[in-house]
Amino acid sequence: MLSISVGSLSLPLDRLLLLLSIALAIFVGNILGRNNKQSADGKIATLFILSMLVARLVFVVQYWAEYQGDWLAIIDIRDAGFNIWAGVLTALTLTAYFCFRFKKLRKSLLIGLGAGVFFWLLTATTLWLIEDTSQKLPTVVVNHLSGESVPLDNIESGKPRVINLWATWCPPCRREMPVLQQAQQDHPNLGFIFVNQGEHEAVIEQYIAKESLLLKNVVADGKAVLGQLVGSRALPTTLFIAADGRIVDAHLGELSSAKLKSKLNRLSTESHEVLSEEKK
């Protein structure tokens, strides 16, 4: 499952679990700290905020070339562009500092953080066990814009693939199209497939012509079956498929050029590993 729906709002599941974990850590730190009138909730909130800032800054530095032309994109964290290891290292460093500097808060701080981490590990591991971690691309029949039906897995088969689920009525889908179009042109070794969800071929063709998009492999999934099968309740959703057909990564929401580049780097790594295993 990639997302969860709350009324008409769809939230990425991984980010929702992280927010719930942070909230739990702050709550537990506050409750325990009341006993000695030294609540740790402020320190826990500070720790998470600073960790996320460092994780974002390191990510921006990593992909600086992608951000130079768009300064506002640096503060647009909707693309979920964070360096996880930088954030974890910052959190551990700040935890050690706070424990040394504020000894009266040590117990409530550590228990609060422990509760948040335990909740995240428990929920993430449970979801990992429930779902098939080696999930293959589902069997779905889509239509070329000419109306001809074709199994999705037959398109660009044998290559690592990027499959974008989108619709013409979706503003984030429209905003990320130039980024994906450029990536398709820059990476001929990868298969980019644009699977429209729930619209007629004529509507798609009209939109592509109006926007002067130069996209290959645009197909229609008239009943939006693919989104249902991969557990995505929102658009855009982008799947990253290894050469052996495994879904190795996914992104819910608009992709920035930096985030897409980081995802493609991971896809390349996974694909190299697959080739290495096959050679053995």
- Rounded percentage of the chain residues whose pLDDT exceeds 70: 88
Output the pLDDT for position 276: 54
Are both 32 and 75 inside the same structural domain? yes
pLDDT of residue 133: 47
**Residue 213 contacts residue 181 (beta carbons within 8 Å):** yes
Q: Residues 127-146: pLDDT tens digits? A: 766 655 457 888 999 999 98
Q: Within a domain: residue 45?
A: yes
Q: 198 phi and psi, to 5 degrees?
A: 85, 10
With bands split at pLDDT 50, 70 and 90, how would you rate the model's confidence at 279? low
For 165-169, what is the mean pLDDT? 96
- What's residue 132's pLDDT? 52
- Reported as a single tens digit per residue, the pLDDT across 69-116 is 777 888 888 788 999 999 999 999 999 999 999 888 888 999 999 999
- Is the bond leading into 236 cis (omega within 30 degrees of zero)? yes
Structural domain contains residue 147: yes
pLDDT of the residue at 161: 96
Range in 93-97, 160-164, 265-269 the model is least confident about: 265-269
pLDDT over 60 at 220, yes or no: yes
> Is 3 a domain residue?
no
pLDDT score of 278: 54
CA distance 150 to 142: 6
Per-residue model confidence (pLDDT) at position 225? 93
* Residue 275: predicted pLDDT: 53
Q: Average of pLDDT values for 159-172? A: 95
pLDDT for residue 7 is more than 70: no
Question: Same domain for 157 and 264?
Answer: yes
Q: What is the C-alpha to C-alpha distance for residues 40 and 26, in angstroms, rounded to an integer?
A: 8
The Cβ-side half-sphere exposure at 151, using a 13 Å CA radius, reads 6
pTM over 0.85: no
Does 5 map to a domain? no
Last residue of a domain, one of 131, 153, 179: 131
Q: Count the alpha carbons within 13 Å of 187 in the hemisphere toward its beta carbon.
A: 21
What is the CATH classification number for the domain harbouring 234? 3.40.30.10
Residue 153: give the domain boundaries. 141-278
Residues 108-125 have pLDDT tens digits of 999 999 999 999 888 877
**pLDDT the model gives residue 1:** 53
Please indicate, yes or no, whether residues 32 and 92 belong to a single structural domain of this protein.
yes
